Structure 1
Amino acid sequence: MSGAPPRSEALHGTAVSIGGTGVLLLGAPGSGKSDLALRLIDRGALLIADDLVLLGVHGEAIRLSGTGNMTGRMEIRGIGLCGMPHVDNAPFRLAALCDLPPERLPTPEHRRWLGIAVPAVRLAPFEASAPVKLEWALRAVVDGTFTTSKERAFR
């Protein structure tokens, strides 16, 4: 048995693609992942997966995808399962931690999945500004202004 990290992993969360870039929303049940995803989709994002997200290593990067019969469907609390504009997969570039309190002036942090560090931000998902804050954080990742000064091991 080698110490190599696994090549794929399934996580409880919700994933969306914003401009072709994958964002993984993480948190306990009821923490606001799907609510935030719904508002991002209303702003033009595409659903990748709701509830169970597959992370798979492709080359030097991780891609997010859905699993099973939930592809293109999202549970909207109080409404039920609904079809959503969706995409099969996208490169994983940002994690949004929906059940950790955000810091006022945070130092950028990273979490590791499958041996690869991914930028992470803490958000209060029910805040009206949460979708815009997430888009700004993603822009910093894509533009290269999100630094690696506060890397934390996930788990």
Structure 2
Amino acid sequence: MTGDEAALDVRHAGLIALRLGGRWRGALIEGPSGAGKSDLALRALDAGFRLVADDRVATFASGGKPWGKPPAPLAGLIEVRGLGVVDAAALPFCEIALAIRCVAAPEQVERLPEPRFAPVAGVSVPVFDLWPREPAAPLKIRRMMQSLGVAT
């Protein structure tokens, strides 16, 4: 990160990351409360991702790229529904490569969607809809990153 870190925008989301091309690249997971964001993040951890933030993500732009980190009180914590809030090994921050929008039902995910983008910290990022409860959801996020050339 450089010194041009702007004001933080805290979003109701989670952030998971993969080490790709020698650096940590992240997927911002957004959706309403109870949509399955934390559950998806938990399963992604078992699929090789690392936690950056759960429940809230402080986003900012630096060097022309969007970044995310956890608000200090939530660093290193993830909610496991039915168990509570537990410690998790977490990264302090990562670049945000794409955004995942959690949908309520699998039928809401288009089979062949047109490319979409949305601003994160004022920077445009690719956006994908995903049903978070699908068993293959963490693997789909990995493939989304690969299809964008993020995983090279």
TM bucket by the smaller chain?
0.7 to 0.9
| Aligned with residue 110 of structure 1, among 117, 139, 151 | 117
Which amino acid letter does the alignment assign opposite residue 118 of structure 1?
V
Contact in 2 for aligned 1:111/1:120 (Cα 8 Å): yes
CA distance in 1: counterparts of 2:7 and 2:65, whole angstroms:
11
CA distance in 1: counterparts of 2:146 and 2:53, whole angstroms:
21
Contact in 1 for aligned 2:47/2:139 (Cα 8 Å): no
Q: 1:62 to 1:86 in 2, by over 3 A?
A: same
Structure 2 residue matching 1:25: 3-state secondary structure: strand
Aligned to 1:53: 57
CA distance in 1: counterparts of 2:92 and 2:76, whole angstroms:
8
Q: 1:58 to 1:107 in 2, by over 3 A?
A: same
Moved more, 21-30 or 96-105: 96-105
CA distance in 1: counterparts of 2:14 and 2:150, whole angstroms:
24
Say what the alpha-carbon RMSD is for the aligned residues.
Answer: 1.6
Which amino acid letter does the alignment assign opposite residue 14 of structure 2?
T
The question of 1:121 aligning with 2:125 is answered no
With normalisation by structure 1, the TM-score equals 0.84
CA distance in 2: counterparts of 1:44 and 1:52, whole angstroms:
21
Which amino acid letter does the alignment assign opposite residue 148 of structure 2?
V
Stretches (4+) displaced over 4 A: none
Q: Shift of residue 76 of structure 1?
A: 0.7
Identical pairs, percent: 31
Which amino acid letter does the alignment assign opposite residue 37 of structure 1?
A
| Aligned with residue 73 of structure 2, among 69, 74, 89 | 69
Aligned to 1:17: 17
Structure 1 residue matching 2:54: 3-state secondary structure: strand
The question of 1:36 aligning with 2:40 is answered yes
Contact in 1 for aligned 2:7/2:60 (Cα 8 Å): yes
Which amino acid letter does the alignment assign opposite residue 58 of structure 1?
S
Unaligned runs of 5+ in 2: 1-5
Contact in 1 for aligned 2:61/2:122 (Cα 8 Å): no
Structure 2 residue matching 1:38: 3-state secondary structure: helix
With normalisation by structure 2, the TM-score equals 0.86
